């Protein structure tokens, strides 16, 4: 009797220990998760307190200057817009096309497997390597120079894997019964894809496109390598124009020793982050809106 009681109390001691270990572990996990959010908050507060006083319409509508108080982001902002527009025009059809081929047409054979493995590997290639590729192929071989179009082509190759992966996910979420019904009514495979599969997959694809473009707008290393200019006092006027982009302009200011230029860099970051957060919010909103409308 007493021996059994002893075992019981010893066990309940172990149970309490295990329970406490569990609580401590829960706390540690929670703290780790919150540390990421804390880091985000500190980053945003640092940037805002450094640069918010510097953001104004003048800042957005002025060219860079040797004098930090007069410097603005006009050239860089327009450069980013031009680069984004061309990247979208080039990368969206190619990316969605590749996804449609792989999801809807490709046979399960070694060619398909090679393409798929290859896309996965491309997604992991450092962005600066794309810069070296663009420098050799687009800038020199095709003699495009450090132009908007050379930058956009380089950036398109960089974001293609993102668009392909998101588009495939969207196409895969359309149930096979939709395709079978369409094929059964006599539609061809392409008619089925175009009229039945693509429309319901569009929200996911759009979300992927927005994410890909927001990656493109924040990327600077490959554009520095292809020779996008650091200091530019005009806006691009066509695909062959020289250009610079927001992150490169920020990099330029952040690498100067004068504290006034650091403030200018922070102001540039605020503009860049505002654009990015707007795009992300758009992507999330789109997903929520269409998820509510899904018919199956």
Partner 1 sequence: MSATAVPTRGFVTAKERERRRTIRRIREAPIYAFLFGCAALSIFTTGAIVVVLIEEAIRFFRHVSIVDFLTGTTWTPTFADAHFGVLPLFNATIVMAAGAMIVAIPLGVLAAIFLSEYAHPRVRSIIKPVLEVLAGIPTVVYGYFALQFITPELLRPPFGNDVSIFNAAAASIAMGIMILPLVASLSEDAMRAVPQSLREGAYGLGSNRFEVATKVVVPAALSGIIAAVILAASRAIGETMIVTIAAGQAPNLSWNIFEEMAAMTAYIVQVSLGDTPRDDPAYGAIFAVGMLLFVTTLVMNIFAQWLLARFREEYD
Q: Which residues within the stretch 29-88 sit at the binding site for partner 1 (CB under 8 A)?
A: 29-33, 35-37, 39-40, 42-43, 46-47, 50
Residue selected from 166, 197, 206, 265 as contacting partner 1 according to rule CB under 8 A:
265
φ/ψ (deg, to 5) at 61: -110, 20
Rounded distance between C-alpha atoms, residue 257 and residue 242, angstroms: 27
Torsion (CA) 197, 198, 202, 207 in degrees, nearest 10: 100
**Residue 265 token pair:** 């860099």
**Using rule CB under 8 A, residue 184 touches partner 1:** no
**Using rule CB under 8 A, residue 235 touches partner 1:** no
**Using rule CB under 8 A, residue 215 touches partner 1:** yes
Residue selected from 81, 94, 178, 202 as contacting partner 1 according to rule CB under 8 A:
94
**Using rule CB under 8 A, residue 117 touches partner 1:** yes
Helix %, strand %, coil % of the chain (to 5): 80, 0, 20
Rounded distance between C-alpha atoms, residue 235 and residue 119, angstroms: 35
**Using rule CB under 8 A, residue 285 touches partner 1:** no
Residue selected from 56, 173, 195, 255 as contacting partner 1 according to rule CB under 8 A:
255
Question: Which residue number, 14 or 66, has a Cβ lying nearer to partner 1?
Answer: 14
Q: Which residues sit opposite 84 in a β-bridge? A: none
- How would you label 132-147 residue by residue, b for 16+ Cβ within 10 Å and e otherwise? ebbbebbbeeeebbbb
Nearest approach in angstroms of CB 140 to partner 1 is 9
Here's the x/- map for partner 1, 187-206, by CB under 8 A: it reads as: -xxx----------------
Q: Which residues sit opposite 242 in a β-bridge? A: 147
**Using rule CB under 8 A, residue 278 touches partner 1:** no
**Site residues (CB under 8 A) for partner 1, limited to 138-167:** 157, 160-161, 164
Stretch in the footprint of partner 1 (CB under 8 A) among 71-79, 111-119, 177-185, 198-206: 111-119
Rounded distance between C-alpha atoms, residue 203 and residue 262, angstroms: 39
**Closest of 284, 268, 280 to residue 220, by C-alpha:** 268
Nearest approach in angstroms of CB 177 to partner 1 is 23
Nearest approach in angstroms of CB 199 to partner 1 is 17
Residue selected from 206, 209, 266, 267 as contacting partner 1 according to rule CB under 8 A:
266
**Using rule CB under 8 A, residue 224 touches partner 1:** yes
**Closest of 270, 271, 266, 272 to residue 254, by C-alpha:** 266
């Amino acid at each position: 009797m007493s021996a059994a009681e002893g075992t019981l109390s010893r066990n309940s001691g172990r149970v309490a220990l295990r329970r406490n270990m569990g609580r401590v572990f829960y706390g540690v996990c929670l703290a780790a998760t919150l540390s990421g959010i804390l880091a985000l908050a500190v980053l945003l507060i640092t940037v805002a307190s450094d640069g918010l006083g510097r953001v104004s319409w003048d800042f957005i509508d002025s060219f860079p200057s040797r004098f930090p108080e007069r410097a603005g982001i006009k050239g860089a902002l327009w450069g980013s817009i031009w680069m984004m527009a061309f990247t979208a025009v080039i990368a969206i059809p190619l990316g969605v096309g590749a996804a449609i081929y792989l999801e809807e047409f490709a046979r399960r054979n070694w060619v398909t497997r090679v393409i798929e493995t290859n896309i996965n590997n491309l997604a992991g290639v450092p962005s600066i390597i794309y810069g070296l590729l663009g420098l050799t192929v687009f800038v020199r071989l095709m003699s495009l120079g450090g132009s908007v179009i050379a930058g956009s082509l380089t950036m398109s190759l960089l974001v293609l894997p993102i668009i392909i992966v998101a588009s495939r996910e969207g196409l895969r979420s359309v149930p096979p019964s939709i395709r079978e019904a369409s094929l059964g009514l006599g539609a061809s495979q392409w008619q089925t894809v175009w009229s039945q599969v693509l429309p319901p997959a569009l929200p996911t694809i759009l979300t992927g496109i927005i994410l890909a473009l927001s990656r493109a707008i924040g990327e600077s290393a490959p554009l520095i390598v292809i020779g996008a200019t650091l200091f530019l006092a005009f806006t691009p006027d066509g695909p062959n124009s020289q250009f610079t982009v927001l992150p490169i302009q920020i990099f330029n200011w952040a690498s100067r020793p004068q504290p006034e230029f650091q403030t200018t860099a922070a102001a540039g970051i605020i503009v860049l982050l505002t654009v990015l957060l707007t795009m992300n919010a758009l992507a999330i909103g789109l997903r929520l809106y269409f998820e509510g409308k899904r018919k199956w």
